[in-house]
A = this chain, B = another copy of it.
Amino acid sequence: MERIVECVPNFSEGRNKEVIEKIVDSFRGKDGVKLLDYSSDKDHNRTVVTLVGEPEPVKEAVIASVKVAKEHIDLRKHEGEHPRMGACDVIPFIPIKNFTIEEAVTLSKEVADEIGKLDIPVFLYERSASAAHRENLAKIRKGQFEGMKEKMQEEMWQSDFGPKMPHESFGVVAVGARMPLVAFNVNLNTSDVSIADAIAKKVRHIGGGLRYVKGMGVFLKDRNIAQVSMNLTDYTKTSIYRALEMVRFEAKRYGVSVVGTEVIGLVPQQALIDSAEYYMGIENFSSDQILENKLAE
């Protein structure tokens, strides 16, 4: 049974094509590794790579790419709009198929250990985090490359692997495991963004809502409507339909209705099947019954 993990490493180089290609080459022509996409942003001065594959080959390719970044990127000379703390800035592992989030956590720690041996400090984050205050990437990265030397002297910001001080030119990197994100938006029949925002605050985790929902109100200028824009951070625990129905019932008190929804980017099949099962009340359905899954076996 094929096991598949996704990895989305971010590199602090979005302008020098030669360096970008050298990094991306780490993921090309490797058995068991499939390069899905990479995109560089000049303003951010950052390249985001998306790859999938079997855990071991993905692990080796990622470590190879970190070595390339160490050799060719010097954070002392880096500037860009996107906050960053390392030449390779962040490495998330996402379980896709026949691979659990727990296995992704283990894989992330193996990679972190190997990177540590390259004399680069590693922070574990998200599900791999060694403490609750280190789950959130933004909190780890606060202070960025320039502030890291001072920050890492604090007890609560010691590295999980590798040296206790940032690498001179590389900086530090965050490695961790997370579930696939589902970006799901709900459009309302109002142009009042404060209503969308009020609903988002009720539905999201931080406001006492659903555990795996982040969200905010957004105004869609071209359509003149307000939208509840959400990220579902674990669709296996908080299904899309649950977020939608909660938006719907919270909207009622404002006399507002749902006029449509959007799924942005990629979404795991099961996230949609779960919702189909809910709305149609399908009993005892198994994803083995999906023809395409049977064919892929």
Contacts and interface: CB of A to CB of B under 8 A. Distances in A.
A266 B281 contact: no
A280 B180 contact: no
Interface stretch (A101-109, A196-204, A271-279): A271-279
Given A96-B295, A276-B273, A294-B36, A281 B260 contact: yes
Interface in A132-185: 180
Contacts of A265: 289
A259 B281 contact: yes
Contacts of A281: 258-261
A1 interface: no
A98 B105 CA distance: 37
Given A279-B279, A280-B241, A263 B285 contact: yes
Contacts of A240: 280
Contacts of A284: 262
A156 to B, nearest CB: 36
A296 B296 contact: yes
A244 interface: yes
Interface residues of A, number: 41
Nearest to A283: B260
Interface of A: 4, 34, 36, 52, 96-97, 180, 187, 240-241, 244, 258-263, 265-269, 272-273, 275-276, 279-285, 289-296
Sorted from nearest, which 10 A-B pairs have the closest CB atoms? A279-B279, A276-B276, A272-B276, A260-B283, A269-B292, A266-B291, A275-B276, A260-B281, A268-B291, A261-B282
11 contacts: A96-B291, A180-B291, A240-B280, A241-B280, A261-B283, A266-B291, A268-B292, A273-B276, A275-B276, A276-B279, A296-B296
Given A261-B282, A262-B283, A269-B292, 12 more contacts: A96-B291, A96-B295, A97-B295, A260-B281, A261-B283, A265-B289, A266-B291, A266-B294, A275-B276, A276-B276, A279-B279, A292-B293
